[in-house]
Amino acid sequence: MSLVLCDDEFIRKLNRDYRGKNKATNVLSFEGGHEPAEGQPWIAGDIVISYQTVLREAKEQKKSFASHFAHMMVHGVLHLLGEDHLTEKQAKRMESQEIEIMKQLGYRNPYDQIDA
């Protein structure tokens, strides 16, 4: 897995080109999608996080940057592992996984508005 930290302009272009949404977002995930050659490691894919959006959201939501950034990493990794949130059922499943993983990492529920 690779991690790219970027600004809003960079992620806006990716979001436009790959998702048809011409706006900045907090995190994008791009699955590796290929079976590795025998004896080679599996490449999960790429996670791209806009530090500007994450910082802005953390302030708006009265969360620490560290906890919100950790949540975006967890969210991105779950996407690389095949999770999604397109339906209500998928969203509930993914959110419950995020809450549990964040708890294991020592953070509060990321869907609570204040964690400071």
pLDDT (tens digit, 9 = 90+) per residue, 48-74? 999 999 999 999 999 999 999 999 999
Q: Name residues of the chain where pLDDT drops below 70.
A: 113-116
Q: How many CA atoms lie within 13 A of 66 on its CB side?
A: 6
DSSP symbol at 27 = E
**Dist. CA 50–CA 27, nearest whole Å:** 6
Q: 3-state DSSP call for residue 112?
A: coil
Distance CA 44, CA 114 (A): 32
Domains of the chain: 2-104 (3.40.390.30)
The rounded distance, in Å, linking the Cα atoms of 116 and 113 is: 10
